[in-house]
Every structure is written in structure tokens, then in C-alpha cells.
């Protein structure tokens, strides 16, 4: 693993010199390993000298967007990252501390903004459908808004999970939990058009083992990363001249908000999102699939 030597030195420091408990050391280790994995896979950074404040902020926003952490866990992650970079400077491993000014992401401290229907329409209309990339990007944006799925669920989506004959997508969510999510005809058409006409052109036999059966591919044939989806969303929102802070997860919030504003049953929306909460139970959130499909078709703006 990249940064393994630096991590080992830091964990030894917090254990022996700061006297942290075994559980605390394990928490620091888990936090920092995830941080380093992100730096390695999403930003391609191979050494600490290349890490900037924006990289750290992007990582924290990624944690918020993916709903991976509670507020207290996110605060601990910030503490872990700050402590590590301060240690790296003191020990002469690197010259600068990019984490010195890092703050709790604004999205984590307040309810996230939601795009209204006009803003959604403007974003969904931005891809250039005369290009293969535009056709793919259109399918991605329609899927994000049409299903409310998380970015990790979108990048992990495989072709055999598209069950359009009954109007559903089978989504594998957090904790490997599976759920069926209704998908409207507009999103279905966008995905089908992409998979039929564009995906075969993107498919690269040499990268088939990496892309596996993933629905959304890069033009070189590899599976799209979370950062790729982020860039597609950013490009579309800029082209649509949206002034709000637009990021992939805002489509999920907008999906749920627009359904509820239209009168959809809260239990049905919770089921579609795959949410689990102390405020709900499996019995309370269990909804018949035919009812889910009916609710989605009746209340989603693009069903």
C-alpha cells in the first residue's frame, strides 16, 4: 500500500508517545488507510509532497457524498489527517502541512442544497447527444436523478442488473445490501440508447477484466471512477450555469425531495434510497415492489 512506511511510523508515534488506546490506534489506522487509498486511486498521488488542501477537502466531501460517516466520525477523520500531516512535518518527511487549514465540510454541518426541477432540467439537457461521450453522460445524469442511487452504486452498476422489462434496476448498496429501484422511461431510454449504441464502441477487450460487466465505461474501456462521475456532473452544472454547489450526491437529495414534494409516501422513498435509520425499521420501510413502481411512476417528474 502507498504511504505504508509513513503510516507505520505515525501509528507507532501515537501508540508509544501519545499513549493512545489500542482502539484509538485502530481507528486512526482505518481512517488514514481509507484516506491514502483515495489519494492513490482517485488523484494518482504517490507521495506526500503532492498532497494539497484541495485534495483533502475533496476526500472529506467524498465521505459526505457517499454517506460513509456520521458527523462525529467525520470530525475524527479530520483529526486523524491533521495529526498525521503535522507529524510528517515535524519528522521531516515533508516540508508543508496541507491539512493545517482544513475545516469540516459545509455539506456536513447543514442540510444539503437541493436542485429545483428547472435546474435539474437544465443540467440534464447539457450533454451533446451528437457525441458518444455526451450520450453516455446523458445516461449517467438521468440515472443519478431517475433512481437516487449513490455514486458508488452507479460506478458499480453492472449490465445484468438492468431489469427494464419490469421497470427496475437492481442496486447493490452499502454493506452489500441489495434493493430494487424503479426507473422511469426517460432514464431507461437514455441508458438503453447508450448501452446499445455507445458502450460497444467504448468496450476494450484488453481492459475487459477490469471493466468486467460495468454499465458505464470510459472512452478507453475502463470502468468509470467516482472522480470521473464528479467531473461529468461539474461540467454539466457549469454548462447549465447553475450557481449552487452541484455534486453527484445532490441528485440523490433532489430525487427524494421531489418525490416527497409530489406527495409520495415516505416509506416508499426510504425503500428506494435504501436508507436504514434508528427512526425506521425493516417492517416499517418494507413496501411492496408494485407499489414502489406505482409511486415512482406517479410522482417522479421524469418517470
Together in a domain, 140 and 239 = yes
The yes-or-no answer on residue 117 being catalytic is: no
- What is the arrangement of strands in the sheet containing 168-172, beginning at the earlier edge strand? 162-163, 168-172, 178-182
Please tell me the total count of domains within the chain: 2
The yes-or-no answer on residue 249 being catalytic is: yes
Among the candidates 109, 143, 173, a domain finishes at: 109
Together in a domain, 136 and 93 = no
Residue 251: is its pLDDT beyond 80? Answer: yes
DSSP conformation letters of 50-76: G--HHHHHHHHHHHHHTT---HHHHHH
Query: pLDDT-based confidence at 193, cuts 50/70/90?
Result: very high
Range(s) of the domain holding residue 206: 117-299
Among the candidates 109, 135, 153, a domain finishes at: 109
Looking at 106, 212, 220, 284, which residue is catalytic? 284
Looking at 55, 138, 161, 252, which residue is catalytic? 252
Of the given ranges (81-85, 169-173, 181-185, 206-210), which has the lowest mean pLDDT? 206-210
Q: Average pLDDT of 92-118?
A: 75
**Residues 115-163 pLDDT 10s:** 999 999 999 999 999 999 999 999 999 999 999 998 889 999 999 999 9
pLDDT at 67: 55
pLDDT at 104: 63
CA–CA dist 112, 94 (Å, integer): 35
Among the candidates 92, 109, 126, a domain finishes at: 109
CA–CA dist 220, 80 (Å, integer): 37
Q: At 184, which CATH number?
A: 1.10.443.10
Looking at 15, 37, 253, 275, which residue is catalytic? 275
Amino acid at each position: 500500500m502507498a504511504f505504508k512506511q509513513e503510516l507505520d511510523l505515525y501509528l507507532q508515534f501515537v501508540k508509544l508517545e501519545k499513549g493512545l488506546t489500542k482502539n484509538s490506534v485502530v481507528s486512526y489506522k482505518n481512517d488514514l488507510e481509507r484516506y491514502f487509498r483515495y489519494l492513490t486511486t482517485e488523484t494518482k498521488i504517490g507521495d506526500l509532497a503532492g498532497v494539497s488542501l484541495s485534495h483533502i477537502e475533496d476526500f472529506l466531501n467524498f465521505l459526505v457524498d457517499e454517506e460513509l460517516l456520521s458527523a462525529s466520525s467525520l470530525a475524527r477523520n479530520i483529526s486523524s489527517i491533521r495529526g498525521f500531516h503535522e507529524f510528517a512535518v515535524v519528522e521531516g518527511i515533508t516540508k508543508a502541512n496541507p491539512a493545517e487549514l482544513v475545516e469540516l465540510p459545509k455539506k456536513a454541518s447543514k442540510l444539503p442544497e437541493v436542485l429545483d426541477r428547472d435546474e435539474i432540467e437544465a443540467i440534464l439537457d447539457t450533454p451533446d447527444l451528437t457525441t458518444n461521450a455526451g450520450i453516455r453522460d446523458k445516461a449517467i445524469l438521468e440515472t443519478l436523478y431517475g433512481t437516487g442511487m449513490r455514486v458508488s452504486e452507479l460506478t458499480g452498476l453492472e449490465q445484468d442488473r438492468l431489469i427494464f422489462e419490469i421497470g427496475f434496476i437492481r442496486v447493490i448498496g452499502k454493506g452489500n445490501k441489495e434493493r430494487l429501484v424503479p426507473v422511469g422511461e426517460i432514464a431507461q431510454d437514455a441508458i438503453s440508447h447508450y448501452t446499445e449504441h455507445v458502450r460497444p464502441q467504448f468496450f476494450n477487450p484488453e481492459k475487459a477484466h477490469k471493466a468486467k460487466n460495468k454499465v458505464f465505461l470510459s472512452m478507453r474501456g475502463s470502468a468509470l471512477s467516482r472522480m470521473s462521475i464528479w467531473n461529468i456532473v461539474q461540467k454539466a452544472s457549469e454548462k447549465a450555469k447553475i450557481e449552487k454547489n452541484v455534486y453527484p450526491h445532490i441528485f440523490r437529495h433532489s430525487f427524494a425531495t421531489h418525490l416527497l414534494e409530489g406527495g409520495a409516501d415516505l416509506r416508499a422513498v426510504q425503500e428506494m434510497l435504501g436508507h436504514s435509520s434508528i427512526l425506521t425499521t425493516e417492517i416499517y420501510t418494507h413496501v411492496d415492489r408494485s407499489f414502489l413502481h406505482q409511486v415512482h411512476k406517479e410522482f417522479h417528474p421524469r418517470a
